[in-house]
């Protein structure tokens, strides 16, 4: 446990720095982490084939400049289409195994495309609102994951989805949902005004439920992919915590609904 905490400190410090300093620094850090996560996914996928690494890295590296300077999500959609077309063009020309193409597209979409939503939150012009949404997103993931773990350890009796994640329990999931929802509701209602957001606090209860559920689905999805690819962790950069993908699996599923929350209820 002590080793896990020590390995987590640098990651928490980095998270604090990107939220506090924000701006181009945070956007470049998020872009670099996106490339790292795509790399980890391609490394995992290499256990079942030969991904076209250059195309995967190029896609991840171009996500930020494309979103920032080429029309937001319209640019990202074009980049994604061109990436997929490039993969199949290489398959046709070289005659490679189609599975190589599929395991190249996988990292582009997961985690690649999901990172576009995190970058979109970092690129919100009103910096205080961006910070607020990032605190909500990462806070929801941390609280949900922490209380799902401890509630599962203390009260877990019934397996949740044993074929995907043998250790997760219904009781743990319920605890994560309860405390994750409460954390978002309290953070939103108490601090929204500090960041220049003024909404009916009840929206944060609904948002908390959605984010907590998506956090746990993100965690389970990462476990499902790892099990299929036959790997224990996506990487080892964080020691016993695994790789960047192992730490961000929940947040990646949280960022799309957080950005949708901003787009529908704050921006308009």
Query: In the chain, where are the structural domains located?
Result: 2-267
Mean pLDDT, residues 167-182 taken together: 97
Give CA–CA dist 31/116, Å, rounded. 9
Q: Is the pLDDT of residue 241 over 90?
A: no
Q: What is the pLDDT of residues 80-90, one digit of tens each?
A: 999 999 999 99
Q: Worst-scoring range by mean pLDDT, 31-40, 61-70, 236-245?
A: 236-245
Better-predicted residue by pLDDT, 240 or 170 = 170
Torsion over CA: 69, 19, 117, 39 (sign): positive
pLDDT of residue 7: 64
Q: Is the pLDDT of residue 4 over 80?
A: no
Question: CB of 246 within 8 A of CB of 233?
Answer: yes
Question: CB of 205 within 8 A of CB of 13?
Answer: no
Q: What is the pLDDT of residues 180-232, one digit of tens each?
A: 999 999 999 999 999 999 999 999 999 999 999 999 999 999 999 999 999 98
Mean pLDDT, residues 164-188 taken together: 96
pLDDT of residue 218: 97
Determine what percent of the chain is predicted with pLDDT higher than 70.
Answer: 97
pLDDT of residue 143: 97
Give CA–CA dist 106/28, Å, rounded. 23
Q: What mean pLDDT is reported for the chain? A: 94
Q: Is the pLDDT of residue 101 over 60?
A: yes
Determine what percent of the chain is predicted with pLDDT higher than 90.
Answer: 91
Q: Which residues contact 66 (CB under 8 A, 6 or more apart)?
A: 75, 76, 78, 79
Q: What is the pLDDT of residues 8-28, one digit of tens each?
A: 788 889 999 999 999 999 999
Question: CB of 191 within 8 A of CB of 257?
Answer: no
Q: Which residues contact 21 (CB under 8 A, 6 or more apart)?
A: none
Bridge partners of residue 159, in order along the sequence: 169
pLDDT band at 41 (very low <50, low <70, confident <90, very high): very high
pLDDT of residue 265: 87
Measuring CA to CA, how many Å separate 116 from each of 2, 120, 193, 246? 34, 6, 27, 18
Mean pLDDT, residues 144-167 taken together: 94
pLDDT band at 1 (very low <50, low <70, confident <90, very high): low
């Amino acid at each position: 446990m002590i080793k896990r905490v020590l390995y987590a400190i640098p990651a928490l410090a980095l998270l604090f720095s990107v939220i506090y300093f924000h701006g181009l620094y945070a956007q470049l850090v998020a872009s670099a982490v996106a490339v790292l996560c795509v790399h980890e996914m391609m490394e995992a996928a290499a256990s079942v084939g030969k991904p076209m690494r250059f195309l995967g890295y190029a896609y991840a590296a171009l996500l930020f400049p494309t979103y920032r300077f080429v029309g937001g999500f319209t640019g990202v959609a074009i980049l994604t289409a061109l990436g997929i077309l490039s993969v199949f063009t290489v398959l046709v020309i070289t005659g490679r195994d189609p599975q190589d193409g599929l395991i190249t597209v996988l990292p582009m979409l997961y985690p690649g495309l999901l990172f576009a939503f995190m970058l979109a939150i970092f690129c919100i012009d009103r910096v205080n609102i961006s910070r607020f949404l990032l605190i909500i997103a990462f806070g929801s993931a941390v609280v949900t994951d922490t209380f799902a773990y401890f509630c599962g350890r203390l009260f877990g009796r019934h397996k949740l989805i044993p074929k995907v994640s043998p250790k997760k329990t219904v009781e743990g999931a319920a605890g994560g949902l309860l405390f994750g929802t409460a954390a978002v509701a309290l953070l939103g209602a108490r601090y929204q005004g500090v960041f220049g957001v003024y909404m009916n606090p009840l929206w944060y209860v609904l948002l908390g439920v959605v984010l907590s559920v998506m956090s746990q689905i993100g965690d389970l999805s990462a476990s499902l992919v790892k099990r299929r690819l036959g790997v224990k962790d996506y990487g080892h950069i964080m020691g016993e915590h695994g790789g960047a993908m192992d730490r961000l699996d929940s947040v990646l599923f949280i960022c799309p609904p957080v950005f949708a929350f901003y787009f529908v209820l704050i921006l308009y």
